[in-house]
Amino acid sequence: MTMPSPLYERYLRIQKRRQRLIWLTRLVLLAAFLVLWELAADWKWVDSMLTSKPSQLWGSFRELAMEGSLFRHVWISAQETLIGIAVSMAVGTLVAMLFWWSTFASKVLEPYMVVLNALPKVALGPIFFIWLGDRYSVYGMAVAISVIVTIIMIENGFKDISRTKLKLMESFGASKLQMLRMVLLPASVPHFIATLKVNVGLTLVGVIMGEFLSSKAGLGYLIIYGGQVFQMNLVMVSIAMLALLSIALYGVVNVLERYARKKYHHES
């Protein structure tokens, strides 16, 4: 086993220091924003009844946490988002595979994909509410927002796969199913991860929009309820929890990405 060179060790130390500096700068910016927000409310630069302030948010957070209702709403939104991501990835992957398998189907349905992608999904909210009811309409909205993007991204990922490998397998008599299973899907793992990263944000947007329109629970419901009763603390706490939820989901995807990269490099 060869030891790393002094130059490489110096490079690693510089990279670690740079990463620590990046994290420190992020924390300083967040702290400066919170301090400025607090002072602006105390000095009457802004109306705390309209904007709230960090100290009030902390009090509201503790109150809601002690009641247990806040984490219940967070869990409901998280569950809806995870199910929406899973359904969108599954349906999107299957449709993208169909488009790769049949060029005819791809050509026929491509204009519909473009139209559906451009369609404002919030317009579908009342339809989902009538068709699926107040509970499942949230899932319908979440999937509607993310599934078309999933199809487009994964299909483009399939097209980026080296045609040379596929032609080589075809020359050896491999079937389309074998090419799909042995080359296309394994080589598309980076595209799946990239699509998953996009879907975290899109599906969460769909969930919140669905909760705005019809739900009786979840962070979207809390935001709407807080606005209706003019409790800005409740609105701001819900938005903060929504930001933390999105960070947590994105962190899970990053862990999956590191695992997929290690496995891919190990197998290759």
- The reply to whether 121 and 88 lie within a common domain is yes
Tell me the helices (H) and strands (E) count for the chain, helix number first: 12, 0
Question: What is the per-residue pLDDT for 73?
Answer: 86
- The reply to whether 24 and 138 lie within a common domain is no
Domain limits at 136?
52-267
Cα–Cα distance for residue pair 223/2, rounded to 1 Å: 57
Question: What is the per-residue pLDDT for 90?
Answer: 92
Question: What is the per-residue pLDDT for 265?
Answer: 54
One digit per residue, pLDDT tens: the chain, 268 residues? Answer: 456 667 777 777 888 888 889 889 989 998 898 889 888 888 888 777 777 778 777 877 887 777 777 888 889 889 999 999 999 999 999 998 888 888 888 888 888 888 888 888 778 878 888 888 777 888 888 888 888 889 888 888 887 775 666 666 667 666 777 777 777 777 778 888 888 888 888 888 888 888 888 778 888 888 888 877 777 888 888 888 888 888 898 888 888 888 877 766 555 5
Amino acid, single-letter form, for residue 136: Y
Q: Which helix (H) or strand (E) holds 3?
A: none
Task: Specify the number of domains making up the chain.
Answer: 2
- The reply to whether 103 and 126 lie within a common domain is yes
Question: What is the per-residue pLDDT for 233?
Answer: 80
- The reply to whether 69 and 39 lie within a common domain is no
Question: What is the per-residue pLDDT for 218?
Answer: 83
- The reply to whether 124 and 211 lie within a common domain is yes
- The reply to whether 145 and 244 lie within a common domain is yes
CATH number at residue 155: 1.10.3720.10
Question: What is the per-residue pLDDT for 91?
Answer: 92
Question: What is the per-residue pLDDT for 39?
Answer: 86
- The reply to whether 4 and 73 lie within a common domain is no
- The reply to whether 136 and 175 lie within a common domain is yes
Question: What is the per-residue pLDDT for 172?
Answer: 66
- The reply to whether 35 and 60 lie within a common domain is no
Contact of 153 with 198, CB cutoff 8 Å: yes
- The reply to whether 180 and 100 lie within a common domain is yes
Q: Which of 49, 221, 235, 211 is nearest to 141 (CA)?
A: 211
- The reply to whether 221 and 134 lie within a common domain is yes
Q: What's the whole-model pTM score?
A: 0.79
Contact of 219 with 211, CB cutoff 8 Å: yes
**Chain centre distance of CA 204:** 6
- The reply to whether 5 and 78 lie within a common domain is no
In the block, tokens 């599906």 appear at 203
